[in-house]
Copies of this chain bind each other. A is one copy, B any other.
């Protein structure tokens, strides 16, 4: 009898685990169970469909379900796992099915913590997660005149940047003092905020608590905030997210300080023959040397891939993560931990090197501003964080710095980096090198 692998969850991690397992060993019996209708789509594209930067939802699906069935995966969609019996090695669904397994892979993802606010169940208060729900929201958007987005986590920033393109008066309500304040610095967010206010026309309400909602006939009419009521036909709640670990805990799987499932570098949990991957786990941060979770969705697939590979008899290890991030389009921001805000909060010693440069020759019309902020540990002189604000070229610089930090790069090395100089595509001085030189000046003084 062939070895049975059951994967719970059909997001990036679950899809990666199931497909790689069966690709590695065609004799495996692989079942994927998901509560949703679809697997393997890109939820990250949803805000851009709302803004019509992407024309329709179709493109967000990687492959039709049949593609995975043809591969030999047993797909059980719209199926909720109710219980796992770890002694009997079986998974039980809400439809009364039993799925016996030799190896179990938990890719249960994350869930919103729905805030305990008055009238939070009014029609028009929505969450972005499932693509079918997003399609329904999208159909209503043409009728929406005013919207509130709660919280400038990255998804919130994408929403406020896109909704105005549909003619919607868009309000951000955020208790923090600037965009994505838990991992960014105020000075580096300022250009994006100015762009959102002046060019996109978003109303930014910082330092403002969401207190509840008012409605009429069950429909949302206002968001109540510490700065007063804001009229709204729709409210997008980018609520706190947490790893979905209920099933894991029910079979004695340990979770860590972040709330995520603890796995070793082969994605194994503490329960034999049970793996976990994706948003439900925590992983080690390479620089901070502490567990982190809920890192970007793009990490789910490679983690799931690894879980599937190792579950199918492979032997490949996961690495600590550094997590470069980036967001925006015309005005882009990005970077890699740590920010000055975080370094202060964690009591890490640091100095700052900052420079405003350009991305093409100063006399070439293609040049755009590129602001670089580097954090340097004054003891080791190693770079410990970077943030970028500019246009094109933020993503690539964030990738570069994540790699440089992983390689233990010193500020002297960055200050002497070489760069392409070509009038339409690169300035004489690379802004990263200029920021590093400024950091050296601080260290030298």
Contacts of A297 in B (CB 8 A): 421
> How close is A29's CB to chain B, nearest CB, in angstroms?
28
Q: List 5 A-B contacts (CB under 8 A).
A: A327-B425, A329-B425, A396-B397, A399-B417, A407-B413
* A186, CB-defined interface residue at 8 Å: no
Residues of A within 8 A of B (CB): 42, 44-45, 48, 53-54, 59-60, 296-298, 301, 319, 321-329, 332, 334, 361-366, 392-400, 402-404, 406-407, 409, 413, 416-426, 428, 430, 432
* Assembled-state Cα–Cα distance A410/B53 (Å): 38
Among A44, A53, A426, A428, max chain B CB count under 10 A is at: A426
* Assembled-state Cα–Cα distance A408/B398 (Å): 20
* Assembled-state Cα–Cα distance A74/B204 (Å): 55
Contacts of A325 in B (CB 8 A): 420, 422
The answer on a CB contact under 8 Å between A322 and B424 is no
Given contacts A60-B363, A392-B392, contact A403 B417 (CB under 8 A): yes
Beyond the given A321-B418, A399-B420, could you list 16 further A-B residue pairs with CB under 8 A, ordered by the A residue number? A42-B363, A45-B364, A48-B364, A48-B423, A54-B363, A296-B421, A325-B420, A326-B420, A328-B424, A393-B393, A393-B395, A396-B397, A396-B400, A399-B418, A399-B432, A402-B419
Contacts of A395 in B (CB 8 A): 393, 419-420, 422, 425-426
* Assembled-state Cα–Cα distance A54/B424 (Å): 10
> How close is A363's CB to chain B, nearest CB, in angstroms?
3
| A45 in complex: contacting residue of B296, B397, B423, CB < 8 Å | B423
> How close is A239's CB to chain B, nearest CB, in angstroms?
21
The answer on a CB contact under 8 Å between B418 and A402 is yes
Among A45, A395, A421, max chain B CB count under 10 A is at: A395
* Assembled-state Cα–Cα distance A301/B428 (Å): 9
The answer on a CB contact under 8 Å between B44 and A324 is no
The answer on a CB contact under 8 Å between A44 and B392 is no
Contacts of A413 in B (CB 8 A): 403, 406-407
Contacts of A301 in B (CB 8 A): 428
> How close is A81's CB to chain B, nearest CB, in angstroms?
27
> How close is A39's CB to chain B, nearest CB, in angstroms?
16
| A298 in complex: contacting residue of B319, B323, B399, B421, CB < 8 Å | B421
| A421 in complex: contacting residue of B44, B400, B425, CB < 8 Å | B44
